[in-house]
């Protein structure tokens, strides 16, 4: 059988890429058509995405995909929560804000004055993150831009709009706004009204697997893709695409989608919206096929990438392989942090903030680069442990294996630490889970793959996976976690 090709445009916080996936009954090959940097811009006192630059990168990638033989369809995914606003003419109003912009720092209480935090959680099932769309919109309240806005599009929906001219809100990503009703999977008119937002801002919900629309003729011409090439709605929240491609073969699995963030949790058929899950700040984001991604955000490899960025500016070595080798030899549990401490959120000097955290909590700051890397990875492994154990407890489920997917699955030391900390086997890979999930939802829409289980079997049978057995001392990990409140 001759495999069919699909293009996945996948935007990450530090780079975007267009991947071409070729899918057959027993094959799934992925190749990179084009990768481009994503460099946020600080201007006029706020942090923005260069969304036109990103769109240009997607067009360049689609042109490469066309050159490599064309594709049956295109899908777009990116990080969650951020949006662009269109005016009545359908033109973009300003540049979308970056979720790490500090303007939302104090807005949550204003929202909670109108809709108490407990109620917001009960309706939306969403963990509290200061940058959830609902808080960004509260920060924008009264602005000329929001006043002039007629349509709100999350980042992938905005790109799909430019590719096809159509307007819609993809479900998995819409579920990260804190304006979607977790029960019904539709916009909560009640929340939108009470928060003083114009209900017309929110386009109709689209589901993964639906056709978004054919490429606009001008886009087909510009990219060399065939006239009428469909853009398929995928799980446009990158984490939802990654979870869709977790190569699990039985129900008792946990996952960690590990990149800029570590998204650690379980796939459930029903949301868990209890007071206990709210207190533990667990989210119920939508997955494909009516599933829920019951997970928590952990600060993730952002801690390491910002550390490397700082070191690079200081002229220190930043080659990861030797740093990891030295970190593996550094003393264990010498210094630990809670990765989710709010001071680690914004861009900037990460080693200084980690050192300050350690000193404030009565620890000695990491003495050298190896100790710093070890501190970050051990702390992340402890957060993985605490989060997955809590997820299992809150949902009443058993865990017997953990799948670690995404760029972080290349980090051998982190995979081993995670297995050790949890006392569970860790299956690492695929690295490109997000792009694979994007492509498999398209392949399924074309009738090439039957269902979710078949998608996962195809990933498991074709992608390179590594297996980590738990070793080391469980009790030592538990005690280390207790030191930083990660029991
Ligand atoms: C990961 C991610 C995550 C969101 C964050 C904003 O890329 O989509 O799931 O919470 O970005």
Is 446 exposed, middle or buried (CB count within 10 Å of its CB: 0-12, 13-18, 19+)? middle
Q: How far does the centroid of ligand 1 lie from the alpha carbon of residue 97, in Å? A: 14
| The predicted structure's pLDDT at residue 487 | 85
429-442 pLDDT tens trace: 999 999 999 999 99
- Distance (angstroms) between ligand 1 centre and the Cα of 259 equals 9
Q: How many other C-beta atoms are found inside a 10 Å radius of the C-beta of residue 474?
A: 14
302 lines ligand 1 (CB under 6 A): no
- Give a three-class secondary structure readout of 131-190: CCHHHHHHHCCCCHHHHHCCEEEEHHHHHHHHHHCCCCEEHHHHCCCCCECCCCCCECHH
Confidence of residue 303 (pLDDT cuts 50, 70, 90): very high
Does the C-beta of 134 come closer than 6 Å to ligand 1? no
Token digits of residue 104: 């939302």
**Ligand 1 pocket residue status of 345, Cβ below 6 Å:** no
Quick: pLDDT tens for 98-120: 999 999 999 999 999 999 999 99
Task: Label residue 251 by pLDDT band (50, 70, 90).
Answer: confident
Return the percentage of the chain with pLDDT > 90, whole number. 98
Q: In angstroms, what is the span from residue 270 Cα to ligand 1's centroid?
A: 21
Residue 446 near residue 4, CB atoms below 8 Å: yes
Record the pTM: 0.98
Q: Give 237's contacts (C-beta < 8 A, 6+ positions apart).
A: 77, 79, 80, 156, 170, 172, 173, 175, 176, 285
* Ligand 1 neighbourhood includes 239 CB (under 6 angstroms): yes
Do residues 97 and 133 touch, judged by C-beta distance below 8 A? no
pLDDT at residue 472, rounded to an integer: 81
Give the residue, by CA position, lying nearest to ligand 1 atom 8: 79
Contact 311, 458 (CB under 8 A): no
Q: For 459-483, what is each residue's pLDDT tens digit?
A: 999 999 999 999 988 899 999 999 9
CA distance 172 to 434: 13
Report how far ligand 1's centroid is from the alpha carbon of 84 (Å). 17
Structure confidence by residue, pLDDT tens digits, 68-105: 999 999 999 999 999 999 999 999 999 999 999 999 99
Q: Predicted ipTM?
A: 0.99
Q: Is the CB of 431 under 6 A from ligand 1?
A: no
Report the alpha-carbon distance of residue 400 to residue 216 in Å, rounded: 47
| pLDDT of 365 over the 70 cut | yes
Q: How confident is the model at residue 22 (pLDDT cuts 50, 70, 90)?
A: very high
Closest to 21 (Cα-Cα) out of 59, 75, 58: 75
Q: Which atom of ligand 1 has the smallest separation from the CA of 82?
A: 6
Q: Is the CB of 80 under 6 A from ligand 1?
A: yes
Burial classification of residue 312, based on how many CB atoms lie within 10 Å of its CB (0-12 exposed, 13-18 middle, 19 or more buried): exposed
Q: Is 298 in the pocket of ligand 1 (CB under 6 A)?
A: no
pLDDT reading at 314 higher than 50 = yes
Average pLDDT over residues 306-328: 97
Catalytic residue at 238?
yes
Q: Is 420 in the pocket of ligand 1 (CB under 6 A)?
A: no
Q: Is 433 in the pocket of ligand 1 (CB under 6 A)?
A: no
Confidence of residue 1 (pLDDT cuts 50, 70, 90): very low
Q: Using CA atoms, how far apart are residues 61 and 33, in angstroms rounded to an integer?
A: 6
For a ligand 1 pocket test, name from 101, 104, 135, 261 the mutation site with the most ligand atoms within 8 angstroms of its C-beta: 261
Q: How many CB atoms lie within 10 A of CB 335?
A: 25
In sequence order, what are the residues at sequence separation of 6 or more whose Cβ sits closer than 8 angstroms to the Cβ of residue 119? none
Q: How far is the CA of 239 from the centre of ligand 1 (A)?
A: 7
In three-state secondary structure terms, 475 is helix
Integer CA distances (angstroms), 124 to 92, 193, 292, in order: 28, 15, 12
Nearest to 411 by CA among 309, 305, 314, 288: 305
Determine the Cα–Cα distance for residues 235 and 27; give it in Å rounded to an integer. 21
Per DSSP, the three-state class of 297 is strand
pLDDT reading at 45 higher than 60: yes
How far apart CA 144 and CA 253 sit, in angstroms, is 47
**One of 10, 77, 157, 238 is an active-site residue; which one?**
238
DSSP state of 213: E
Q: Residue 428 and residue 436: Cα distance in Å, rounded?
A: 15
Cα-Cα end-to-end distance for the chain? 51
What's the CA-to-centroid distance between 17 and ligand 1, angstroms?
A: 16
**What is the chain's mean pLDDT, rounded?**
97
pLDDT of residue 3: 64
Contact 265, 282 (CB under 8 A): yes
Helices and strands (H and E) in the chain: how many? 19, 19
């Amino acid at each position: 059988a001759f495999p069919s090709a699909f293009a996945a445009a996948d935007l990450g916080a530090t780079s975007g890429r267009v991947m071409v996936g070729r899918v057959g009954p027993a094959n799934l090959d992925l190749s990179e058509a084009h990768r481009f940097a994503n460099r946020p811009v600080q201007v006029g006192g706020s942090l923005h995405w260069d969304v036109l630059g990103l769109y240009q990168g997607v067009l360049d990638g689609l042109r490469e995909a066309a050159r490599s033989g064309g594709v049956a369809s295109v899908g777009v995914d990116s990080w969650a929560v951020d949006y662009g606003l269109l005016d009545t003419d359908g033109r973009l109003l300003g540049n979308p804000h970056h979720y790490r912009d500090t303007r939302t720092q104090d807005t949550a209480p204003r929202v909670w004055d109108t809709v108490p935090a407990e109620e917001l959680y009960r309706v939306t099932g969403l963990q509290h993150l200061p940058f959830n769309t609902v808080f960004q919109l509260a920060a924008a309240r009264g602005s000329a831009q929001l006043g002039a806005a007629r349509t709100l599009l999350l980042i992938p929906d905005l790109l799909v709009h430019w590719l096809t001219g159509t307007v819609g809100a993809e479900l998995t990503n819409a579920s990260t706004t804190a304006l979607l009703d977790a029960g019904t999977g539709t916009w909560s008119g009640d929340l939108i009204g009470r928060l003083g937002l114009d209900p017309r801002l929110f386009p109709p919900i689209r589901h993964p697997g639906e056709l978004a629309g054919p490429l606009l003729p001008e886009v087909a011409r510009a990219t060399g893709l065939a006239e009428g090439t469909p853009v398929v709605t995928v799980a446009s929240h990158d984490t939802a695409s990654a979870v869709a491609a977790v190569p699990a073969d039985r129900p008792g699995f946990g996952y960690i989608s590990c990149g800029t963030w570590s998204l650690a949790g379980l796939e459930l058929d029903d949301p868990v919206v209890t007071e206990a899950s709210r207190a533990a700040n667990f989210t119920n984001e939508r997955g494909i096929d009516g599933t829920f991604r019951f997970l928590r955000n952990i600060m993730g490899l952002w801690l390491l990438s910002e550390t490397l960025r700082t070191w690079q500016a200081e002229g220190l070595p930043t080659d990861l392989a030797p740093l990891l080798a030295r970190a593996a030899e550094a003393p264990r549990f010498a210094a630990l942090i809670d990765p989710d401490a709010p001071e680690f959120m914004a861009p900037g000097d990460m080693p200084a903030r980690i050192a300050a955290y350690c000193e404030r909590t009565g620890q000695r700051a990491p003495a050298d680069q190896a100790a710093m890397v070890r501190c970050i990875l051990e702390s992340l492994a402890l957060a993985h442990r605490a989060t997955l154990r809590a997820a299992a407890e809150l949902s009443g489920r058993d865990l017997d294996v953990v799948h670690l997917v995404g760029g972080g699955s290349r980090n051998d030391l982190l995979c081993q630490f995670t297995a050790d900390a949890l006392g569970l086997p860790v299956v690492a890979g695929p690295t490109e889970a997000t792009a694979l999930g994007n492509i498999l939802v398209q392949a399924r829409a074309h009738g090439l793959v039957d269902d979710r289980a078949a998608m996962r079997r195809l990933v498991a049978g074709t992608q390179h996976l590594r297996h980590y057995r738990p070793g080391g001392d469980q009790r030592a990990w538990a005690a280390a976690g207790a030191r930083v409140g990660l029991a």
